Amino acid sequence: MTYQQDAPTPYQEVRTAAYRAVTALNAALPDLPPGPVADAYRQIADETSAVLARTPAGPDTQPAPGITTTRINALGDGTTLHERQNATLLLDALLAAAATHGVTLDDLDAVTDLPRVCLDLVRTKTA
């Protein structure tokens, strides 16, 4: 007897992408020089992990229009609307965790292209 697994919902895909983003942040930490940037990355990874640990699978959500949607859509060549929406949700979640530490998208842009990382993670997950 075989069992068919339901396809993951967009919410579950975003959770998976967030987990992969945390994994990527943790992997980058050893290469960063000690200091505020490394500390911020560590805190973002820790807080995102904590959110993932206490957030059950839930309803799908639509991204609110704003800078994150604009940044993701600017990278959208060859991507689907679904991928861009999920990348926006992931980016919003990561930025919300970063904001609690005073870290903004502009701060992160100085060291990485977080919108691109989010879109790449979502595309890898859905490929």
Cβ neighbors of 38 (< 8 A, separation 6 or more) are 29, 32
Q: Is residue 3 part of a domain?
A: no
Q: Is residue 86 part of a domain?
A: yes
Q: Which residues form the domain of 121?
A: 10-56+63-126
* Residue of 22, 87, 13 whose CA lies nearest to 48: 22
Please tell me the distance from the alpha carbon of residue 24 to that of residue 94, in angstroms, as a whole number.
Answer: 12
Our count of domains for the chain comes to 1
Q: Is residue 33 part of a domain?
A: yes
Dihedral of alpha carbons 113, 101, 28, 53, sign: negative
Q: Is residue 5 part of a domain?
A: no
Please tell me the distance from the alpha carbon of residue 46 to that of residue 29, in angstroms, as a whole number.
Answer: 12
Q: Is residue 2 part of a domain?
A: no
Q: Is residue 101 part of a domain?
A: yes
Under a CB-based contact definition with an 8 Å cutoff, are residues 42 and 103 in contact? no
Q: What is the pLDDT of residues 55-114, one digit of tens each?
A: 654 444 333 346 667 777 777 677 888 888 888 888 888 888 887 777 778 788 888 888
Q: Is residue 29 part of a domain?
A: yes
Q: Is residue 110 part of a domain?
A: yes
Q: What is the pLDDT of residues 23-67, one digit of tens each?
A: 777 777 777 788 888 888 888 877 777 776 666 544 443 333 466
